[in-house]
Structure 1
Amino acid sequence: MEGSSSMTQTPISKEPEHPSHRDYAITTRLGVGDAGDRIQLCTNHFNVSIRQPNVVFYQYSVNITTENGDDVEGKGIGRRIMNQLCKTYSSDHLDGKFLAYDGDKILYTIGPLPQNAFDFKVSLEGSFSKRSDDGSPSGISKRSKRSLLPRSYQVHIHYAARIPLKTVLVSERGASSTPERSSQDALRVLDIVLRQQAAERGCLLVRQAFFHNDRNPIEVGGGVIGIRDFHSSFRPTHEGLSLNIDVSTTMILQPGPVIKFLLANQSVQSPQQIDWTKAGKMLKHLRVKALHRNMEFKVIGLSPKPCNQQLFLMKIKDGERAGQTTEVTVYDYFKNTYFDPVLSAYFPCLDVGKPNRPNYLPMEFCHLVSLQRYTKALSVRQRASLVEKSRQKPLERIKTLNDAMYTYRYDEDPFMAGCGITIEKQMTRVQGRVLKPPMLKFGRNENVIPNNGRWNFNNKLVLKPEAIKNWAVVNFSFPCDMNRISYQLFECGRKKGIQIDQPSALVEEDPQWKNASPVERVERMIAKMLENIKDPYFILCILPERKNSALYGPWKNICLTQKGFNTQCICPTKPNDQYLTNVLLKINSKLGGINSLLAIEEPCNIPLINKTPTLILGMDISHASPGRAEPSVAAVVGSTRWPLISRYRAVVRTQSPKVEIIDSLFQLTKEGDKGIMNELFQEFYMTSQKRKPKQIIIFRDGVSETQFNQVLNIEVNQIIKAYQHLGETDVPKFTVIVAQKKHHTKLFQSTGTQNVPPGTIVDTKIVHPTNYDFYLCAHAGMIGTSRPAHYHVLLDGIGFKPNDLQNLIHYLSYVNQRSTTATSIGNTPYSYSLLITKMHIPLSLC
Structure 2
Amino acid sequence: MDSSASGSDHNRERTPMSRPGFGVKGNKISLCTNHFRVELADSAGYFFHYSVSIYNKDGRPAEGKGIGRTIMDKIREIYKFDLDGKDFAYDGEKSLFMWGALPRKELDFTVVLDKISLKSNGDNSSFNGSGSLTQGGGKRQKCVFQTRTFRVVMKYVGKYPFSVISDMLRGRHSEKVHEVIKVLDVVLRQHAAKKSCLIVKQSFYHDDPKNFTDIGKGVFGCKDMSLTTVLKPGPVLDFLVANQNVKNTSCIDWSKARRVLKNLKIKIFPSNRESRITGLSEYICKKQRFLLRNRGLKNDNQEVQVTVYDYFVKHKKMHLQYSGDFPCINIGKTKSKFYPIELCSLLPLQRYTKELSLPQRLMLIESSRQRPLEKMTMLTEARKTNKYATETMLQSCGVSIASTFTQVEGRVLAAPKLIVGRGEEVVPRAGCWNLNGKMLAEPMSVHSWAVVSFRSSFDPSMVCTYFAKSGEMMGISVKPPICIIEENKSYRQAPPAIRVEKILEQLDLKLKPLKAQSNKKKTLPDFILCLLPNKNSDIYGPWKRKTLIELGISNQCISSSKLDMQYFTSLLLKINAKLGGLHSRLAIEWNSPVLSKKPTIIFGMDVCHGSTGLHDFPSIASVVSSRCWPSMSHYRASVRSQSSKAEIIESLFKPMPGNGDKDEGMIRDGVSEGQFKQVLNVEFHQILEACKLLDSDWHPKFTIIIAQKRHHTKFFQSRQQHQNVPPGTVVDSKICHPHYYDFYMCPHAAYAGTARPIHYHVLLDEIGISSDELQELVHSLSYVYQKCTKAISIVTPIRYAHLAASKASQILTSEVFSNHTEAQAPELPKLHKEVCESMFFC
TM-score normalised per structure 1: 0.87
Equivalent position SS for 1:444: helix
Cα drift, residue 310 of structure 1: 3.4
Match of 1:646 among 620, 633, 645: 633
Query: Is the contact made by 2:604 and 2:797 (CA closer than 8 Å) also made in structure 1?
Result: yes
Indicate the residue corresponding to 1:232 in structure 2: none
Change (3 A) 1:486 1:613: same
Indicate the residue corresponding to 1:179 in structure 2: 174
Match of 1:304 among 282, 297, 312: 282
Cα drift, residue 215 of structure 1: 0.9
Indicate the residue corresponding to 1:249 in structure 2: 227
Task: Measure, in 2, the Cα distance between the counterparts of 1:457 and 1:147.
Answer: 77
Query: Is the contact made by 1:101 and 1:108 (CA closer than 8 Å) also made in structure 2?
Result: yes
> Aligned ranges for residues 555-570 of structure 1 at < 5 Å?
555-570=543-558
Cα drift, residue 428 of structure 1: 0.8
Asked if residue 616 in structure 1 is aligned to residue 594 in structure 2, the reply is no
Asked if residue 794 in structure 1 is aligned to residue 773 in structure 2, the reply is no
Asked if residue 206 in structure 1 is aligned to residue 200 in structure 2, the reply is yes
Identity %: 44
Asked if residue 410 in structure 1 is aligned to residue 356 in structure 2, the reply is no
Q: Any gaps of 5 or more consecutive residues in structure 1?
A: 1-16, 230-246, 667-676, 686-690
Change (3 A) 1:525 1:724: same
Indicate the residue corresponding to 2:833 in structure 1: none
Asked if residue 266 in structure 1 is aligned to residue 244 in structure 2, the reply is yes
> Aligned ranges for residues 441-520 of structure 1 at < 5 Å?
441-477=419-455, 479-520=457-498
> Aligned ranges for residues 50-199 of structure 1 at < 5 Å?
50-74=40-64, 76-90=66-80, 92-126=81-115, 135-136=126-127, 148-170=145-167, 174-176=170-172, 178-180=173-175, 182-199=176-193
Query: Is the contact made by 1:138 and 1:313 (CA closer than 8 Å) also made in structure 2?
Result: no
Match of 1:28 among 11, 18, 34: 18
Task: Measure, in 1, the Cα distance between the counterparts of 2:495 and 2:251.
Answer: 21
Cα drift, residue 454 of structure 1: 0.2
Cα drift, residue 397 of structure 1: 1.1
Equivalent position SS for 2:786: coil
Change (3 A) 1:420 1:584: same
Q: Deviations over 1:347-384 (max 9, x none)?
A: 333322124x2223332232212211112222232122
Change (3 A) 1:658 1:205: same
Match of 1:46 among 12, 21, 36: 36
Change (3 A) 1:451 1:140: closer
Query: Is the contact made by 2:134 and 2:294 (CA closer than 8 Å) also made in structure 1?
Result: no
Indicate the residue corresponding to 1:721 in structure 2: 689
Task: Measure, in 2, the Cα distance between the counterparts of 1:787 and 1:127.
Answer: 49
Indicate the residue corresponding to 1:9 in structure 2: none
Query: Is the contact made by 1:74 and 1:104 (CA closer than 8 Å) also made in structure 2?
Result: no
Which moved further from structure 2: 563-572 or 695-704?
563-572
Indicate the residue corresponding to 2:592 in structure 1: 606
Cα drift, residue 205 of structure 1: 1.9
Equivalent position SS for 1:59: strand
Query: Is the contact made by 2:87 and 2:393 (CA closer than 8 Å) also made in structure 1?
Result: yes
Task: Measure, in 2, the Cα distance between the counterparts of 1:151 and 1:443.
Answer: 77
Match of 2:787 among 807, 812, 818: 818
Q: Deviations over 1:240-273 (max 9, x none)?
A: xxxxxxx122211111222222222222224444
Task: Measure, in 1, the Cα distance between the counterparts of 2:351 and 2:602.
Answer: 40
Q: Deviations over 1:370-419 (max 9, x none)?
A: 21111222223212211101211111111222233334331342322232
Asked if residue 663 in structure 1 is aligned to residue 663 in structure 2, the reply is no
Cα drift, residue 275 of structure 1: 3.3
Indicate the residue corresponding to 2:714 in structure 1: 746
Cα drift, residue 619 of structure 1: 1.0
Indicate the residue corresponding to 2:739 in structure 1: 770
Change (3 A) 1:794 1:838: same
> Aligned ranges for residues 357-376 of structure 1 at < 5 Å?
357-376=335-354
Asked if residue 348 in structure 1 is aligned to residue 327 in structure 2, the reply is yes
Cα drift, residue 478 of structure 1: 5.6
Change (3 A) 1:109 1:810: same
Task: Measure, in 1, the Cα distance between the counterparts of 2:661 and 2:536.
Answer: 42
| CA RMSD across the alignment | 2.8
Query: Is the contact made by 1:54 and 1:164 (CA closer than 8 Å) also made in structure 2?
Result: yes
> Aligned ranges for residues 234-245 of structure 1 at < 5 Å?
none
Query: Is the contact made by 1:137 and 1:314 (CA closer than 8 Å) also made in structure 2?
Result: no
TM-score normalised per structure 2: 0.87
Q: Deviations over 1:296-324 (max 9, x none)?
A: 22222233333344343443547776514
Asked if residue 737 in structure 1 is aligned to residue 705 in structure 2, the reply is yes
What amino acid does structure 2 have at the position aligned with 1:354?
A: K
Aligned residues, how many? 782
Query: Is the contact made by 2:126 and 2:134 (CA closer than 8 Å) also made in structure 1?
Result: no
What amino acid does structure 2 have at the position aligned with 1:223?
A: G
Change (3 A) 1:200 1:811: same
Task: Measure, in 1, the Cα distance between the counterparts of 2:411 and 2:70.
Answer: 50
Change (3 A) 1:301 1:557: farther
Cα drift, residue 502 of structure 1: 0.6
Query: Is the contact made by 2:610 and 2:619 (CA closer than 8 Å) also made in structure 1?
Result: yes
Task: Measure, in 2, the Cα distance between the counterparts of 1:27 and 1:406.
Answer: 37
Task: Measure, in 1, the Cα distance between the counterparts of 2:46 and 2:128.
Answer: 54
Q: Deviations over 1:174-227 (max 9, x none)?
A: 512x513x1122122222222222222222222232222041311111211122
Query: Is the contact made by 1:561 and 1:842 (CA closer than 8 Å) also made in structure 2?
Result: no
Which moved further from structure 2: 46-55 or 163-172?
163-172
Change (3 A) 1:221 1:135: same
Cα drift, residue 535 of structure 1: 0.4
Indicate the residue corresponding to 1:701 in structure 2: 669
Q: Deviations over 1:17-36 (max 9, x none)?
A: 99964532211111111111
Which moved further from structure 2: 281-290 or 70-79?
70-79
Q: Any gaps of 5 or more consecutive residues in structure 2?
A: 1-6, 119-123, 136-142, 512-522, 813-827, 831-842
Query: Is the contact made by 2:540 and 2:811 (CA closer than 8 Å) also made in structure 1?
Result: no
Q: Deviations over 1:544-582 (max 9, x none)?
A: 34x434443443333333333222222454543322211
Query: Is the contact made by 2:741 and 2:763 (CA closer than 8 Å) also made in structure 1?
Result: yes
Query: Is the contact made by 2:133 and 2:290 (CA closer than 8 Å) also made in structure 1?
Result: no
Task: Measure, in 2, the Cα distance between the counterparts of 1:354 and 1:126.
Answer: 16
Equivalent position SS for 1:719: helix
What amino acid does structure 2 have at the position aligned with 1:104?
A: E
Task: Measure, in 2, the Cα distance between the counterparts of 1:108 and 1:694.
Answer: 50
Indicate the residue corresponding to 2:218 in structure 1: 223
